[in-house]
């Protein structure tokens, strides 16, 4: 899923321009992609403040790595690879430097539904979010790239710097773990 592009050059065209020294091309890329990159990192980390920091760093890295851009490449896997690498680096760093501080994702209730339905939807969303965040980082990354970001296994493999077969295996494993941890939400009610 690529952000809508009403007017102007494509993402790859902007990245081609940025890579050839037209620094002004960074602004429209940031406008188009900042919300998507933040959402991706929020799903990866579960921490809004950290996701915002990593999203900003993603665009810094994109700018610094502009000369390594391969003209004609797909932009979405490339930017998500930068973001995923930053998230992985953070996970490695935080595993060596544990801390008890951090924000958690809050669930916004659906005010259009009746209170009981809204509460159930909020509980279900919270359970799914918690289950995804509980996955090992490499499985979480694969499921977010393919399910939430809509990337093919090939594109997700490019973003995760691995093979499509590995992504396929990780997605299958993540779905199995999610199915088990979300069994109470999936199970049919007994008569």
pLDDT tens digits for 152-180?
999 999 888 899 999 999 999 999 999 99
Domain termination residue (choose one: 68, 96, 124): 96
pLDDT tens digits for 97-107?
665 444 333 33
Reading the block at residue 117, the tokens are 């339905």
Residue ranges making up the domain that contains 179? 114-184
Residues 66 and 122 in one domain: no
Q: What is the CATH number of the domain that holds 121?
A: 1.10.10.10
User: Helices 48-64 and 75-96, interaxial angle, to 10°?
Assistant: 120
pTM exceeding 0.75? no
SS3 state of residue 4: coil
Q: In Å, how far are 112, 121, 129, 182 from 134, measured between CA atoms?
A: 30, 20, 9, 12
Confirm if 106 and 58 have CB atoms less than 8 A apart: no
Q: How many domains does the chain have?
A: 2
Residues 163 and 90 in one domain: no
* Residue 5 to residue 147: CA distance in whole angstroms: 22
């Amino acid at each position: 899923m690529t952000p809508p592009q009403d007017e102007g050059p494509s993402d790859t065209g902007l990245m081609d321009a940025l890579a050839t020294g037209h620094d002004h091309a960074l602004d429209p890329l940031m406008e188009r992609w900042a919300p998507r990159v933040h959402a991706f990192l929020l799903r990866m980390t579960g921490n809004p403040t950290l996701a915002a920091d990593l999203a900003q760093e993603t665009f810094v890295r994109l700018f610094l790595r502009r000369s390594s851009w391969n003209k004609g490449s797909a932009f979405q896997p490339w930017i998500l690879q930068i973001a995923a690498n930053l998230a992985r680096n953070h996970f490695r760093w935080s595993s060596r430097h544990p801390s008890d501080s951090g924000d958690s994702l809050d669930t916004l209730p659906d005010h259009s539904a009746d209170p009981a339905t809204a509460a159930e939807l909020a509980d279900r969303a919270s359970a799914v979010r918690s289950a995804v965040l509980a996955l090992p980082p490499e499985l979480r990354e694969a499921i977010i790239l393919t399910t939430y970001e809509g990337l093919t296994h090939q594109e997700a493999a490019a973003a995760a710097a691995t093979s499509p077969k590995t992504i396929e295996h990780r997605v299958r494993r993540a779905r199995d773990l999610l199915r088990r941890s979300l069994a109470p939400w999936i199970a049919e009610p007994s008569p």
